Amino acid sequence: MDRPALAASARSANARSAPDRLLAVLAAFDHTHPALSLSDISRRAGLTLSTAHRLVAALTDWGALERDGSGTYHVGLRLWEVAALAPRGLALRQVALPYLEDLYEATHENVQLAVRDGHEVVYTEWLSGRSAVGVHIRVGARWPLHVTGVGLVLLAHGVPELQEAYCARPLTSYTAHTITDPVRLRRMLAEVRRTGVAVSSRQVTDDALSVAAPVRGPDGAVTAAVSVVVPHAHAQVPVLAPAVRLAARGISRALGWQPQGRQD
């Protein structure tokens, strides 16, 4: 990069507010980049090396980042402590875990808990089952709402404005079975609301099927979703659906939900 370009890059970085630059450093880390050198952070955050150095030092002093013996940086435990306070993160996981474990013992299949973040589903817990399926989920992983059982539940129980905005955007396809027709997606969302469960069949990989149900908060609003993921070839939806519903209702009650007639 020549000097004029470097100067322009520096001016652009300096134009960003201090909080924006600090958040850019943290955003440089993700599941595919869990460990970064200072130069990696500088490049991925779009910051000059000197600015990145100053911000990384401050974050390391506070505990948001940790530096190992080779000079590589990782996300620090202080962020984990803060994340534990999030009602839709580790706090939700702590309440839900006994019911997720019961669901696993009843099915011995892959069990997951997820929440919505914008147009994506974010997984807050995953218990790996005995069945081998192509979908490999990590805590913190994200998928578009329309391709997973938990995502369909969260979209189906979202406000109408969310559903309309989502159906108006391009629907990413992962397999030949992925729903890409907004008319079909709307029909599926209506069916999820009617039955209280969502079934996502071979939408992410050709061998997996998920059955999901809504988790409600104290006010009755759907705040999360729980599901099992099984091999499509051996899936028994009529058997799995009641078990998933029961787990979802148990988590909902533990969160303070009081059913007023049939809501899910």
Which two structure tokens, joined as six digits, stand for 50? 């000197």
pTM: predicted TM-score of the whole model, two decimal places: 0.71
Check whether residue 196 and residue 105 sit in a common domain: yes
Determine the Cα–Cα distance for residues 204 and 148; give it in Å rounded to an integer. 7
Determine the Cα–Cα distance for residues 108 and 203; give it in Å rounded to an integer. 22
Determine the Cα–Cα distance for residues 150 and 33; give it in Å rounded to an integer. 26
C-alpha distances (whole Å) from 181 to each of 63, 77, 177, 201, 208 are 46, 43, 11, 15, 20
**CATH number, position 46:** 1.10.10.10
Check whether residue 111 and residue 78 sit in a common domain: no
Residue-level pLDDT, tens digit, the chain, 264 residues: 444 444 444 445 456 788 999 999 999 998 788 899 999 999 999 999 999 999 999 999 999 999 999 999 999 888 877 776 666 656 788 899 999 999 999 999 999 999 999 999 988 888 887 776 666 667 778 899 999 999 999 999 999 999 999 999 999 999 999 999 999 999 999 999 999 999 999 999 888 999 999 999 999 999 999 999 999 888 889 999 999 999 999 999 999 998 875 444
Check whether residue 69 and residue 187 sit in a common domain: no
Q: Report yes or no on 264 lying in a domain.
A: no
H helical segments located in the chain: 3-15, 18-27, 38-45, 49-62, 77-83, 90-107, 149-156, 160-167, 182-195, 237-254
Check whether residue 74 and residue 117 sit in a common domain: no
Determine the Cα–Cα distance for residues 234 and 231; give it in Å rounded to an integer. 6
In eight-state DSSP terms, residue 52 is H
Which two structure tokens, joined as six digits, stand for 114? 């997820």
Check whether residue 99 and residue 177 sit in a common domain: yes
SS3 69: coil
Q: Which of 54, 83, 112 is the last residue of a domain?
A: 83
DSSP letters spanning 81-146: HHHTT-TTTHHHHHHHHHHHHHHHHHH-SEEEEEEEETTEEEEEEEE--SS--S----TT-EEEGG
Q: Report yes or no on 241 lying in a domain.
A: yes
Check whether residue 133 and residue 250 sit in a common domain: yes
Q: How many domains does the chain have?
A: 2
Check whether residue 113 and residue 58 sit in a common domain: no
Q: Report yes or no on 207 lying in a domain.
A: yes
Range of the domain at 178: 90-254
